[in-house]
Structure formats: structure tokens, C-alpha cells
């Protein structure tokens, strides 16, 4: 999880409609307790899952952060690799509503 993106991710999470979900997958830790501490220290209020090799492979994640934006049917609308801005995140979310 990219600490530099946390303020933007928090703002996106706060702006979601009730039928939208933000889900984080942590690929840099395999220790649930350290992940819980991190989430608590940074006041993260959305689900954070531990990545498996299968998930990373299925989504071709090899650099961090990697963000995926999904449509209502679960298909990938767009993605970013590297630091995403709040503006970029919101723009991609708007696109998912149009598709």
C-alpha cells in the first residue's frame, strides 16, 4: 500500500456512494497483525486483504502501487501503475459510471 496515496484514497473512499466499494489488497506484507496495525495507525476504514501470488499474477501486478477500477459487473474499466492523484482517481471512477 502506497503511503503517498493514502490521503487521496481516503477522500475517494469518503465520496463513494453506498453501492460503491473501495477494496485494498496489500502485496507487500504477509503478516495480518502488522497490516492491522498499519490500518489502525493510518485510520483506514475500508477492507484490506492480503494478496496471494495467484491474485498478483491474475492482475499482472509487478509494480506498486497498482490500482484497478471496476465496473458494476466486475470487469476492469481502467488501471494505473504508480502514484495516482486524487483527480486521476476521481476521473477514472466517473468513467466506470458511464460504461
Mapping DSSP to helix (H, G, I), strand (E, B) and coil, where does residue 85 land? coil
Domains in the chain: ranges and CATH: 3-98 (3.40.30.10)
Cell output for 4: 503517498
pTM value > 0.95: no
Q: H or E element: which one contains 35? A: helix 32-41
Interatomic CA distance for residues 22 and 31, integer angstroms: 21
Q: Tell me the pLDDT tens digit for each residue of 12-23.
A: 999 998 888 999
Contact 35, 26 (CB under 8 A): yes
Confidence label for 1 from pLDDT (cuts 50, 70 and 90): low
Amino acid at each position: 500500500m502506497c503511503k503517498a496515496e493514502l490521503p487521496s484514497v481516503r477522500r475517494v473512499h469518503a465520496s463513494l456512494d453506498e453501492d460503491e466499494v473501495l477494496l485494498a489488497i496489500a502485496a507487500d506484507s504477509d503478516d495480518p497483525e502488522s497490516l492491522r496495525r498499519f490500518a489502525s495507525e493510518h485510520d483506514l476504514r475500508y477492507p484490506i486483504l492480503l494478496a496471494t501470488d495467484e491474485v498478483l499474477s491474475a492482475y499482472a501486478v509487478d509494480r506498486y502501487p497498482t490500482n484497478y477500477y471496476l465496473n458494476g459487473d466486475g470487469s476492469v474499466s481502467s488501471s494505473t501503475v504508480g502514484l495516482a492523484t486524487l483527480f486521476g482517481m476521481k476521473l477514472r471512477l466517473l468513467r466506470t459510471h458511464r460504461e
